[in-house]
Amino acid sequence: MAGAGAHLDVAEAGSPPGGGTRIGAHDNGAGVALVLEAARGLAQFDHRRTIVACFWSNEENGYDGVDRWIDNIPAGVTLSNYLNADAVGTNWPGYYTLVVDIIPETDNQINEQWPMVRLAEWIGSNNNDIAEALRLGREIYNTEGYASMKDVDSSDQKRLSISVHESQRGRSDYERIADQLGVVSMDFGSLTGGSDCYHAPCDTLDTMIDMMVTDNGTGVQNLVQSFDLISWWLFNLAMHLDETPIYNES
């Protein structure tokens, strides 16, 4: 089988750094919505493998949902690849980087997961004019690092960037799947720790719209384009990986 998923829970009251939220539009209502939209499209086709859409519980406090699921996979059933969406949407074509994270990366060597990086860039570029965004995203990742895109608000630089890269570790349920099952896994994400509204009451749709305002587009226009890109990216990746999985050779 192949999988796509997102966590359903939000940061509970008292969660750092912002004190928790009852809404969680960015983290992780957006991820859930995008996986649901991709699953709606996938359900209209026959597939070689079973494709599962997973909505995890308690990601914020210990990955209980995904851990329980892994422990109960039936004998003889294997997972070929997994796609995740967590804290995503406030990114390209806005001024925050769309962070496409691929794991596992086991020995600190570059390009262990190059086949998945290459596939993701190719599929993402299909019908989307993002070549320059991908080039800039790779430059930012190589010169400033992963944390600079997740934990630092650099929107004042007005960079339109998408970083597709392999990483030493994940920050969501996909980390458990990669570590425990050895499955090549991918996450779509954007700014988290660098946002004043991360795990905070202001994590709302209105905040996401405000964050997506650019010189050339309204917040609504850019957020719709972001959601359209990512949902289609998830859908097309799942379709391709159903036919031709990418296995972990690291």
Predicted local confidence at residue 250, as pLDDT:
73
Banded pLDDT at 247 (limits 50, 70, 90): very high
Give me the pLDDT at residue 51, please: 97
Has residue 192 got a pLDDT over 80?
yes
User: Which CA distances in Å does 196 have to 18, 205, 215?
Assistant: 7, 14, 22
Rounded to 10°, the helix 131-144/114-125 angle is 140
- Specify the pLDDT at position 110: 63
DSSP letter (8 states) at residue 73: P
Please give the average per-residue pLDDT across 142-151, as a whole number: 93
Q: Which CATH class is domain 2-243?
A: alpha beta
Alpha helices in 145-201 (DSSP H): 146-150, 173-181
Mean pLDDT, rounded, for 226-234: 98
The confidence score (pLDDT) of residue 170 equals 84
Q: Identify the residue with better confidence: 168 or 217.
A: 217
pLDDT tens-digit map of 77-117 = 999 999 999 999 999 999 999 999 999 987 666 678 999 99
pLDDT of residue 108: 65
Cα angle 38, 41, 42 (rounded to 5 degrees) comes to 85
* Average pLDDT value for residue range 107-130: 88
Write down the pLDDT at residue 114: 93
Residues 118-125, mean pLDDT to the nearest whole number: 97
Q: What rounded mean pLDDT belongs to the chain? A: 96
Residue 77: alpha-carbon gap to chain centroid: 25
Across 190-203, average pLDDT: 97
> Do residues 208 and 96 lie in contact, with contact meaning Cβ atoms separated by under 8 Å?
no
Q: Could you read off the pLDDT of 59-83 as tens digits, one per residue? A: 999 999 999 999 999 999 999 999 9
pLDDT at 109: 64
What phi and psi, each to the nearest 5 degrees, are found at residue 120? -60, -45
